[in-house]
Amino acid sequence: MIKINEHYLKLQASYLFSNIAKKVGEFQQSNPEKEIIRLGIGDVTRALPEACTQAFHKAVDEMAADSSFRGYGPEQGYDFLREAIVKNDFQPRGADISADEIFVSDGAKCDTGNIQELFTQDARIAIPDPVYPVYLDTNVMAGRTGEFEDGRYKGIIYLDATKENNYVPGLPEEKPDLIYMCFPNNPTGSTITKDELKTWVDYARENQALILFDAAYEAFIRDESLPKSIYEVEGAKEVAIEFRSFSKSAGFTGTRCAYTVVPKECAAFDSKGGKQLIHPLWNRRHCTKFNGVSYPVQRAAEAVYSEAGKAQAKGLVAGYLNNADLIATEIKSLGYDFVGGDNSPYIWIEAKRDSWEFFDMLLNETGVVCTPGAGFGKCGEGYIRLSAFNSYENVEKAMARIKKALA
């Protein structure tokens, strides 16, 4: 008899975005004349940088001729992209990462979800709350948690991000083996300083733990004193894996290209306490289960690092940050407390009431869609997330309506 993996039955159905879609659909039906403005989404809205589409087209043309056609590429990614990544994303920030430590993939979602396969079933997992749900759900699937009770899975060490700690969790009382971190954070938009990050790196080193650092939003960091990579912190290469993506930095959400950094000295331990390097294990996993990102997509990603591509991608990010500034200014003028928006596309607002109640009020009175914080974890209750991923015109219109409704 074929039996299922019953850990899947523990998963909470993700009601968040389906519930939002249902409520928006109902609102639209009863108010067909009202224009809806979506500030709930975490998806980019502006076109790819022109340098990327040009490189994309050129690479597609190469695929159309036998003489320049390419079949399977290296699973880890083409050298031209891996070298451009280290030269532009790490070396200028003093992070000593080499091209063969970069694993190109089709998404930080897949990588942050798949990485847990490398670790033992009884690894103790620390996960922030609120959180990008992939970290939690993939560990539930793998059987590293108990049942879901009172809004939380048993067996997980939750790292509360609250107003009291400025949305940067402190070190946990219980000792974790694997620690998930995300800065700039989704959903809160909070950032971490180099000193705070060093505390975590030192903790991981002292406790034989490993940090999984999701830097999918690093491109939004404007404050030069903030770390973009965990490898800017001394000693991080032994205890941290970093995830990056072209999704938000260059509009690749629909094009799909990302990468994971596994430094050669990064290690975990076997059952006898012996040091085991992670690089060969991730390489083995990657080559066994993944056949590489398509050649034209990797050429498009490489073009992000051309002079024109850099300027255009920067322009995209600056546009979203400009939206975030407007949202932050207006929310502040309304007297609401919030975090994020300065170095992130997300603004996390204290709703002063139940987060779904605030969502309903905003939708019904203004036609603006936000994301209720409760959908990201227990600590998200009482908050909403506004996203800067929209046109400036729409953000202006949305904020004018919100101001009128909340003033």
Residues that bind ligand PLP (CB under 6 A): 42, 107-109, 112, 132, 182, 186, 214, 216, 245, 247, 253, 258
Which CB sits closer to ligand PLP, 42 or 77? 42
Minimum CB–partner distance for residue 44 and ligand PLP (Å): 10
Closest CA to 254 of 263, 245, 264: 245
Peptide bond between residue 169 and the one before it cis (omega within 30 degrees of 0): no
- 8 A C-beta contact, residue 370 and residue 341: no
Minimum CB–partner distance for residue 258 and ligand PLP (Å): 4
DSSP assignment, residue 263?
Answer: -
Which CB sits closer to ligand PLP, 107 or 227? 107
Minimum CB–partner distance for residue 26 and ligand PLP (Å): 26
Residue nearest to ligand PLP (CB): 107
Which CB sits closer to ligand PLP, 243 or 358? 243
Minimum CB–partner distance for residue 107 and ligand PLP (Å): 3
Minimum CB–partner distance for residue 289 and ligand PLP (Å): 16
Which CB sits closer to ligand PLP, 183 or 367? 183
- 8 A C-beta contact, residue 238 and residue 104: no
Angle at 183 between CA 356 and CA 229, to 5 degrees: 165
Contacts of 97 (CB under 8 A, 6+ apart): 86, 90, 91, 229, 231, 261, 263
Which CB sits closer to ligand PLP, 130 or 382? 130
Residue 157: strand pairing partners: 126
Residue 177 structure tokens: 């083996």
Minimum CB–partner distance for residue 257 and ligand PLP (Å): 8
What is the C-alpha separation between 249 and 316, in angstroms, rounded?
8
Minimum CB–partner distance for residue 405 and ligand PLP (Å): 28
- Beta pairing, strands 152-153 & 148-149: antiparallel
- 8 A C-beta contact, residue 106 and residue 257: yes
Minimum CB–partner distance for residue 407 and ligand PLP (Å): 32
Residue 150, sorted as left (phi over 0), alpha (psi -120 to 50) or beta, turns out to be left
Contacts of 389 (CB under 8 A, 6+ apart): 41, 42, 43, 44, 45, 320, 323, 345
Which CB sits closer to ligand PLP, 247 or 355? 247
Minimum CB–partner distance for residue 133 and ligand PLP (Å): 10
DSSP assignment, residue 13?
Answer: P
Look at residue 102 and give its three-state secondary structure: strand
Residue-level length of the chain: 407
Which CB sits closer to ligand PLP, 44 or 402? 44
Residue 196's CB is within 10 A of a number of other CB atoms, namely 18
What is the C-alpha separation between 242 and 240, in angstroms, rounded?
6
Which CB sits closer to ligand PLP, 167 or 402? 167
Which CB sits closer to ligand PLP, 112 or 355? 112
Amino acid identity, position 82: R
